[in-house]
């Protein structure tokens, strides 16, 4: 009770100062965290895009690229160019998944095609 009275009474400016400090610190931490996240996204995009491109190159070596992989890679680059790294990373990961699926198809079909043959 006393404590409450003290804070809400004579020491109110101190309480306000403490509260403002806490708020300011929190805001600064949020701002720092956001900046750090944006910077990480550029790097994350570069890594994700490189991985997707590498997988698509591997699909190319199997002569089995997909048009959707190519268009998703292009969309990822466009998103990165406009600074939307969250979308760019997501699209790069999607492109990588598509490329890996085409690699799986190209590899498994090396034998699986025989099942369709007219004999």
Partner 1 sequence: MKVRSAIPLVSVALALAVLALAAAPPASAADAIDPAADARAFQKFFTTKFPKLKLEDFVNGPYSLNEDMHRQWVEKEEFPPYEFSLDMGKEMFAQPFKNGKSYADCFPNGGIGIRQNYPYFDDKEGKVVTLELALNRCRQANGEAPFSYVKDEMAALTAYMAFTSRGKPFDIKIPNDPRALEAYETGKQYFYTRRGQLNFSCASCHVQNPGERIRAEILAPALGILNAMPIYRSEWGSMGTISRRFTTCNVQTRGVPLDPQSDEYRDLEYYLSYVSNGLPISGPGARP
Binding site for partner 1 (CB under 8 A): 60, 63-68, 70, 98, 101-102, 105-106, 109, 112-114, 116-119
Backbone φ, ψ for residue 21 (5° rounding): -65, -45
Residue 49: Cβ within 10 Å count:
21
Q: Are 70 and 115 in contact (CB under 8 A)?
A: no
Give min distance, CB of 65 to partner 1, in A.
4
Give min distance, CB of 69 to partner 1, in A.
8
Give min distance, CB of 52 to partner 1, in A.
15
| CB closer to partner 1 out of 51 and 70 | 70
In the block, tokens 């931490």 appear at 29
């Amino acid at each position: 009770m006393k404590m409450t009275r003290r804070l809400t009474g004579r020491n109110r400016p101190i309480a306000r100062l403490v509260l403002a400090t806490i708020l300011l610190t929190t805001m600064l931490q949020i701002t720092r965290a956001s900046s750090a996240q944006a910077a990480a996204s550029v790097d994350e995009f570069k890594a994700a895009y490189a991985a997707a491109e590498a997988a698509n190159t591997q699909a190319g070596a199997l002569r089995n690229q997909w048009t959707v992989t190519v268009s998703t890679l292009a969309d990822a680059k466009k998103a990165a160019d406009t600074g939307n790294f969250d979308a760019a990373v997501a699209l790069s990961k999607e492109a990588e998944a598509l490329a890996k699926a085409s690699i799986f198809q190209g590899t498994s079909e090396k034998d699986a095609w025989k099942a369709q043959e007219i004999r």
